[in-house]
A and B are shown apart, each in its own frame.
Chain A
Amino acid sequence: DSGVTQTPKHLITATGQRVTLRCSPRSGDLSVYWYQQSLDQGLQFLIQYYNGEERAKGNILERFSAQQFPDLHSELNLSSLELGDSALYFCASSVSLDRGLGNTIYFGEGSWLTVV
């Protein structure tokens, strides 16, 4: 158990709908990352937050948004869903940005999203 909690574990929804994925980082971790894993594109970095502020943005679509709340949990909002958005969405967390070299990130078990 990595200590990173993601909900829901599985979600099936229709095209055009909106969903919210939730992540609770490990206790004490300030940085949260979101990744998308699909069969054809591997593990894609979406976005990173640090202590409530957006830190880095990767291949995140405009239909997707995220935020990190004062209690450090994070939500990833996916809207106007398309079939191609079906994937496993991972949250990960780490202690800080510049704790020194080798700062490890810890992954949750992921949220499986199926768009039908």
Chain B
Amino acid sequence: GDSVTQMEGPVTLSEEAFLTINCTYTATGYPSLFWYVQYPGEGLQLLLKATKADDKGSNKGFEATYRKETTSFHLEKGSVQVSDSAVYFCALSVSTGNQFYFGTGTSLTVIP
């Protein structure tokens, strides 16, 4: 069935370090791919998305490229800030029924 596997956490980085959070997926058909972020005490917010192969989603300095050949959608940021500390969820949706499947989440802590 459709599913998402993302990198286990927690991840701790120093400010200005490079971030990669890996995400791979399994899906029938052509899913859309998403990254959501959950800040402490809040709900999940959409960070970025991509709807077809080779699309790059970007927002707030974060980027992810939809790679069909490797079934991946890795999240990257060149220089993290303390304010980026949060839990990041990779997700996919299948167009039929718009069902969403989330990964287990990766906790990121950025230290000054």
Contact = CB atoms under 8 A, between A and B. Distances in A.
Interface of A: 2, 4, 31, 33, 35, 42-43, 45, 48, 55-56, 90, 92, 94, 96-110
Interface stretch (B10-18, B74-82, B89-97): B89-97
A96 B96 CA distance: 11
Contacts of A35: 102
B46 A106 contact: yes
B61 interface: no
A18 to B, nearest CB: 24
Nearest to B100: A105
A104 B44 contact: no
Contacts of B98: 31, 94, 96-99, 103, 105
A2 B97 contact: no
With most chain B CB atoms within 10 A of its CB, the pick from A31, A33, A101, A108 is A101
A92 B91 CA distance: 14
A2 B43 contact: yes
B104 A101 contact: no
A43 B102 contact: yes
